[in-house]
Structure 1
Amino acid sequence: MKGIYTTILLMLSNVFMTFAWYGHLQFKKISWLQQVGLVGVILISWGLALFEYIFQVPANKIGFEENGGPFSMFELKIIQEVISLVVFTLITVFIFRTDKLAWNHIIGFLLMVLAVYFIFKKW
């Protein structure tokens, strides 16, 4: 169950992370945000990043094996990276609508799946 909680919290964290890191690139599409300067963009991004950490820190705390969770630190990191790419892709393609999913993206994701396999493989 801790693995499921960890994964859900990491997904929520990555939604906020994606908007904090890349959302400001969409400000030109929102009239009242078009005039926000760099300091304003940084403050808005920090505000969103706060929520990223509100979900990310408990996810790692709950999921870490030394705290009774099922995952090593390497496993937590690779889970976070894969979730990050999936969330980023979904938001970029379906919400921001700035890019199209191409064959090279799919190959890259398949290589990430391979990375997950090797990280979780017990030798």
Structure 2
Amino acid sequence: MKDMVQFGNRIRRLRQQHNFSLRELGERSGVSYSFINSIENNRFSPSRETVIALADALSAVDKDELLLLAGFAPTESDALESQTGVEALEVDDPEVSLFFKDFKNAPKERRDEMLRFWNFIKDQQQTRKPDSQQ
């Protein structure tokens, strides 16, 4: 089950952080500004391709996070494209694949908990020095 309220709110915050109007984000992503407005106001659910287009337009955004919020698991190629100085996510790893499968099938409360954990790990990786051990 998707959490479109959280996804819509996240897109709005990211758009505002980048100082993009709806029209500007629409031009950058190839998604109509009215559809982006509908996503932000939780009237429509985006397709996987729309989520990826929005993530690409908001270049500093973690594509995997947006895909997870929208109820999609990242593919290996998406994970490889979205590396940000850390090792790429290996989705052919059975444990990682199981995480995404569990996430997709989990109830909302469990998904929220898993997403908080995912973000905690990302934050820890960003503050970790390259020569330090994990």
Calculate the TM-score normalised by the size of structure 1. Answer: 0.27
Structure index of larger Rg: 1
Calculate the TM-score normalised by the size of structure 2. Answer: 0.26
Higher relative contact order (CA 8 A, sep 6+): 1
